[in-house]
Amino acid sequence: MYYTYTHSIPDGKVFYVGKGKEGRAYSTSDRTLAWRKVVEDNQGVTMKIVKHFENEDDAFAHEIELITQFKDDGCKLVNLTSGGKGFMDYCFTEDNRLARSKVLTGYKHKEVICPHCATVGGETSMKRWHFDNCTGVRPEHKSRTTINGSRLYLGKFHTKAEADDNAQELKELVLSEIASQEI
């Protein structure tokens, strides 16, 4: 289920029109710097679902209509495009590029480390993709040993050396126990 939505400042003036599904209308992440500035300057945002749609194409068409309508009514929208899929009608001007470059020069994205596999990456991409799909580093090397003619499986380890050391330690421990019992 898709929908179109508006964001307005507390006095009711619409400053953003969008298309979304699930909780997108209520999300404050992945918003432009202009959107964030309007919210900050006006101490908040009012979010309103305008209309629901069964398919995405109808929602895109309604988004385009809403943006056109609000712009015709004199609303100063922070939308980068006139709606629809992607950046169809948006072209970065040289001034845009220079301003964005100035803002982002020296900016260091927050890095996070996956607790399962120790992969390091930018916070946004790790949250979007990695954490949902990480299965961790799976141990691949089996540790086995033979004691008194019986083959024993001892588990899996991350490296061949760990597996061999584990097998050798257990074998020495068991053999020393057997030797101490024979005395």
Shared domain for 168 and 82, answered yes or no, is no
- pLDDT surpasses 90 at 63: yes
Shared domain for 157 and 115, answered yes or no, is no
What domain count does the chain have? Answer: 3
Average pLDDT over residues 2-12: 93
Average pLDDT over residues 155-163: 85
Average pLDDT over residues 48-60: 93
Q: Quick one: pLDDT band at residue 183, thresholds 50, 70, 90?
A: low
Q: b vs e for 32-51, b when ≥16 Cβ sit within 10 Å of the residue's Cβ? A: eeebeebbeeeeebeeeebe
Per-residue pLDDT at 127 = 83
Beta strand segments in the chain, E: 2-8, 14-21, 46-53, 111-113, 120-122, 141-147, 150-157
Shared domain for 42 and 122, answered yes or no, is no
Shared domain for 133 and 159, answered yes or no, is no
Shared domain for 164 and 80, answered yes or no, is no
Domain that holds residue 168: 141-182
Q: What is the pLDDT of residues 79-128, one digit of tens each?
A: 888 887 766 556 677 888 888 888 878 777 789 988 878 889 888 888 88
Shared domain for 93 and 116, answered yes or no, is no
Shared domain for 11 and 67, answered yes or no, is yes
Shared domain for 47 and 119, answered yes or no, is no
| Contact criterion met (CB below 8 Å) for 123 and 57 | no
Shared domain for 41 and 89, answered yes or no, is yes
Q: What percent of the chain has pLDDT over 90?
A: 32
Shared domain for 99 and 127, answered yes or no, is no
Shared domain for 32 and 114, answered yes or no, is no
Shared domain for 153 and 167, answered yes or no, is yes
| Contact criterion met (CB below 8 Å) for 40 and 28 | no
